[in-house]
A and B are shown apart, each in its own frame.
Chain A
Amino acid sequence: MKESIRIASGQGFWGDLPTAPVDQVRKGPIDYLVMDYLAEVTMSILRKQQLKDPSLGYARDLVPLLEELMPEIVSCGIRVITNGGGVNPLACRDALFASARKRGVRGLRIAVVHGDDILGRIDALGAAGAALTNMESGAHLASVRDRLISANVYFGAAPIVEALRQGAQIVITGRTTDTGLTLAPMIHEFGWSMADHDLMAAGTVAGHILECGAQASGGNFLGDWRSVPDLAHVGFPIAEAQPDGTCIITKHEGTGGLVSEATVKEQLVYELGDPTTYITPDCITDFTSIQLAAAGPDRVRISGVRGRPPTDFYKVSMAYHDGYTAIGMLTYAWPDAAEKARAADKILRTRLADLGLVFDEIRTELVGLDSSFGPRAVPNEEQNEVALRIGVRSRDRDAVERFGREIAPLVLTGPPSVTGFAGGRPRATDVIAYWPALIPKHLVTPVVDTRSMEEEAPR
C-alpha cells in the first residue's frame, strides 16, 4: 500500500480556469486528477444539447483538454476521474478514444459510470414506490411531470472504485457526487472498507474541500484577500491522503494562491447545511469533528473526522421547464442617480401594466446601491452612478419578449443621463427549475463499463 496519494482538483465547475488541470499535471507530482463539472442545472443544459445532437450531452471542453494531457497521463500513470460525462458519458468516451488515436496514444482504458439517468423510467419507478416528491417543498411530482427535462441519481464513490479496480486510467461518470470523485481513489488505493464510516467521512471532507477548485486555495477568500499572493497563477488544491484518513491540503510549489487554515475553513463552510449531518451516498459526515492544523507553508492537516452510516436513499436531481425570464439593465449617472433609476422603473412598470402584460414576478434592483444589501443598503447622496436592473418572469413567452422591447425606449422617453444600453434587447430565456428528490437505493444500480481503446472499433 502507498503511504500517501496526491489527489489534485482540476476544475471546480464547468467553465472554470482552463489552465488549471494542465498545471496540476505539469507543475508537480500527482496520482489522481479529479474534475467536477456538474452544478445542479448543468445536466438539463447538457440534455438540451443532446436533444439537438445525440452525440453530445457531455462537457465538451473535456475532450481537447484530455487530448492535450493524454501522453503525460499515460506516461506518468496519472488517473483522471470526472463527472463531465454529463447525460452522455458513453459519447464522451467515444470522443476520447478518437482523440487518443489521433495522438497515437495506445492501451488507454476508459471506464464509464452510468445508470444515473432515470428520466425514461420515472413512471416505472413511481409504480415501484419512488414518489420523487420535492424534498424541499413537499410538492407532488405530478405538478411538473410533463415538463421534466432531466432526472439523474447522484451516485457516490462505489462505482468509481469499481472502475479503478477494473484498471481504468480515465473514469467518466454521469451524475456522481463531487465528494465521491475524491473519496473513491482513497478507498481504492488504501483498501478502505466502505463500512468504515469514519474513513468514508474523512475522504468526503477532502472531497468537499477540493470540489470548488481554487476556492480552497485563495480564490474568493474574504478573510484577508489582499494577503493572497499571485492569484493570476493560482494553484488549485491538492489532497495528500494517508491510509489512516489523515489528509494534507496543499498545492504545487511555485504556484500562486494560498492554502491556510483560514482559506480551508471558508471552503469547509461553503454550501453547508447542518454541519453534524452532511449527507452523501457514502456516509453521513460530522463537520463538527474536523480537526484542522497548520502543517507548514501552504499545508493544512485535516484529521479526526467522524462519520455515521449512510441513509437508504440516493438524492435525485431533476430539472423541468418553468416559464421564461428576461433581464434588462440601464445605467443612470449623478445627480440623483438612484432617484432617476427608480423613476424609470415606475414608468416601465406603468407601461407594462398599460399593455396588460402579466408576470409572475417583476424585480427591480439598483446595482451599485442595493442589489446585495437590500434594505441594509446605506444611502449615498453623492452616488456617482447606478445600474437599474429589471427582471421579469412569466409562463407567457410573448409577454417576456414584449418586456424586452420596453427597455431601450426609456433612454429617450424617461429620466435623463442614462446610458449602457449596448447589449441589445433582453431576450426571453428558459427557466430550468430544479426539483430535488430522494429515491430508495435498491431501485437504481450504477453501471460500470470499462474498455481499452483496442477493444473499441474506430467509428
Chain B
Amino acid sequence: MKVRLIQYAHARSGDKGDTANVGVIARKPEYYPLLLRALTAERVAAHFQGICLGKVERFELPNLCALNFLLHESLGGGGTLSLKNDAQGKTLSCVMLRMEVDTDEPG
C-alpha cells in the first residue's frame, strides 16, 4: 500500500549554510523499520530533485527511531545570500513528509 510518509513520521528541518537538514522521526518505534527501508538516500534525492542540487546524505539514530538527512546545495546559497522565501529550509520537513512510501515493500 502506498501511503504518505506523514502518517508514519514527523519531522523538523533547518539550515547550515547552503545545506538543509531534515530529521525524520517515526511516530511509533514499530514504524522505524519502514523508514529505514523506504527512505534510502537515493529515493530522498529523487524526491527532492529540483530542490536539492547537491548530494543527499543519510544518518541513522536508532535510539530516537529517527533518520537525519543532509540535503546539500538546497537553500539558494543559504543565509542572506539566498533569494528563496524559505531560505532556511524550515518547510522542507513538509516536503519530505509528503513523500509516498510503500508499506508492503519487503524488508
Residues of A within 8 A of B (CB): 40-41, 136, 220, 222-224, 262, 265-276, 287-292, 322, 325, 327, 361, 363, 365, 367, 371-376, 389, 391-393, 429-434, 436
Of B47, B66, B78, B86, the residue contacting A265 (CB under 8 A) is B66
Establish whether residues B85 and A223, one from each chain, have CB atoms under 8 Å apart when the complex forms.
no
Establish whether residues B66 and A269, one from each chain, have CB atoms under 8 Å apart when the complex forms.
yes
| B91 at the A interface (CB under 8 A) | yes
Establish whether residues B81 and A272, one from each chain, have CB atoms under 8 Å apart when the complex forms.
no
Q: Is the interface of B mostly helix, strand, loop or mixed?
A: mixed
Establish whether residues B86 and A266, one from each chain, have CB atoms under 8 Å apart when the complex forms.
no
Residue of B nearest to A361 (CB): B83
Known: A266-B23, A269-B23, A373-B98. 9 other contacts (CB 8 A): A224-B10, A267-B12, A269-B61, A269-B64, A271-B14, A272-B21, A327-B83, A372-B85, A374-B51
Interface size on B, residues (CB 8 A): 45
Q: Is the interface of A mostly helix, strand, loop or mixed?
A: mixed
Of A262, A289, A391, A430, the residue contacting B83 (CB under 8 A) is A391
Of A265, A363, A372, A432, the residue contacting B94 (CB under 8 A) is A372
Separation of A267 and B62 alpha carbons in the complex (Å): 16
Separation of A372 and B79 alpha carbons in the complex (Å): 16
Residues of B within 8 A of A (CB): 10-12, 14-19, 21, 23-25, 27, 47-51, 59-64, 66, 68, 70, 76-81, 83-86, 91-95, 97-98
Establish whether residues B14 and A389, one from each chain, have CB atoms under 8 Å apart when the complex forms.
no
Nearest-neighbour CB distance to chain A for B75, whole angstroms, equals: 12
B-side contacts of A224, CB under 8 Å: 10
B-side contacts of A376, CB under 8 Å: 47-48, 50-51, 95, 98
Establish whether residues B95 and A289, one from each chain, have CB atoms under 8 Å apart when the complex forms.
no
Separation of A365 and B85 alpha carbons in the complex (Å): 8
Establish whether residues B51 and A375, one from each chain, have CB atoms under 8 Å apart when the complex forms.
yes
Establish whether residues B68 and A371, one from each chain, have CB atoms under 8 Å apart when the complex forms.
no
Establish whether residues A288 and B91, one from each chain, have CB atoms under 8 Å apart when the complex forms.
no
